[in-house]
Copies of this chain bind each other. A is one copy, B any other.
Amino acid sequence: MSISTETVGANAERARSHNRQMVLDRVRQAGQIGRAEIARGSGLSTQAVSNIISDLLSDGLISEQGRKATTRGQPPVQYGLNPVGGYAIGIEIRPDAIFATVLDLCGTPAASLRRTLAAHDLDGVTEAVVAAKSAIIEEADLPASKVLGVGIVMPGPFGRTGLSGTGSELSIFHDVSPTDWFTEALSTPVVVENDANAAAVAELVAGVARGFDTFACLYFGNGLGLGLIQEGRLVRGAFGNAGEIGHIPVTSNGRAVPLEAALSRLAVQKHLASAGFDITSSDGLAEAYAARNAALMTWLDAAAEPLSHAITIIENMFDPDAVILGGAMPDAIFDHLIGSVKLAERSVSNRPGRMTDRLLRGASGRMTGTLGAGALVINRAFTPRIAAVAR
């Protein structure tokens, strides 16, 4: 049952689709770019690029944006993404609610909604997801033709593993492929990932990881997850469960505990509860931090070390451009952690002449999971597909 990817052959049709997505991706990465420049960078002739650009123009995915002043010669016409050329729907399934959002091509949210999740069986969840899709399409008034697909984010790990029962995973999908299931139920292209992977893609598409090729996103959900991007693609593992960093044992006060017992949203809530504070919302945490709540500050002091440990593991295992913190914590708390953590000197990431900090705060805020769901779809629209296709 391992996820497997298979390389497919190239024919004219697939080559065209590949080239279209490649050109689109170059336009996105550059912001504005001309045809000749794309041709130089891609190894295609300017004529081929010209034809593809004219396709993309008539599909409304890109728009002409003036000419660029150059040193000599005819100034190249610049093209940029047309944000309203396509939309992605992102749906996040949380234990208590379903969140849905619509992102435009640039990854900017155009609408969003929240529905409490009553039933937790397969049919109930499916129905809720289908309803959320219809509702958000209606709310944003999207023509069906502009919907690129639906991204769905749910807690991992997927399938039966040794971690089953430790988190908030959806056991209703233990024996059903969620991707196949929702593709069927929604009759649309569907991408399914866990929250940490989605957060990483959100940062790649519209966050601080724009321009990065290889990075890691340490994600604070209820537990602690890790989204890994290598050469612009998700590192998913053989069964889609890579990045379960929260379950790595660390020693805390001489005892071996899972990392997420020391470093996660639940960990801080538990610590605060034991000090008599019942704080469960992000706003509550932000207020407590603003008020310099003593229990919270103690926890933050204690959290710096396991965080440093986690980052050392990530850096030495992945050699990323940077590690990004994301998820269910107020920005102020992330900033505090980033300021107080002592990064290891013995790390492959401790290199002279770095262009960015080793540790960054994500830009997607606390809705990063839902935004990430949409970002998965956007990302797929920009990813050329000859070579490997998941099956």
Contacts and interface: CB of A to CB of B under 8 A. Distances in A.
Given A239-B351, A321-B238, A19 B25 contact: no
B347 A162 contact: yes
A286 B219 CA distance: 45
Interface stretch (A3-11, A96-104, A333-341): A3-11
Contact of A162 (B166, B348, B386): B348
Interface string A203-222: 00000000011110000000
Contacts of A43: 8-9, 11, 14
Interface string A37-79: 0000111100011000000000000000000000000000000
A316 to B, nearest CB: 4
Contact of A163 (B5, B42, B321, B346): B346
A231 interface: yes
A387 interface: yes
Contacts of A214: 2, 237-238
A230 B10 CA distance: 22
Contact of A319 (B48, B166, B240, B353): B240
Interface in A132-179: 157, 159-163, 166
Nearest to A258: B346
A340 B236 CA distance: 30
Contact of A22 (B7, B251, B344): B7
A318 B236 CA distance: 7
Interface stretch (A242-250, A289-297, A367-375): A242-250
A214 B351 CA distance: 29
A318 B345 CA distance: 24
Contacts of A386: 10, 18, 384, 386-387
A248 B11 contact: no
B160 A351 contact: yes
Interface string A341-374: 0001111111111000000000000000000000
Interface string A277-317: 00000000000000000000000000000000100110011
Given A9-B42, A386-B387, A318 B242 contact: yes
Given A9-B43, A318-B235, A384-B7, A349 B15 contact: no
Interface of A: 1-2, 4-11, 14-15, 18-19, 22-23, 25, 41-44, 48-49, 157, 159-163, 166, 212-215, 226, 230-232, 235-245, 247-249, 251, 258, 309, 312-313, 316-321, 344-353, 384, 386-388
Going nearest first, the 6 A-B pairs with the smallest beta carbon separation are A237-B319, A162-B350, A387-B387, A9-B44, A10-B15, A214-B238
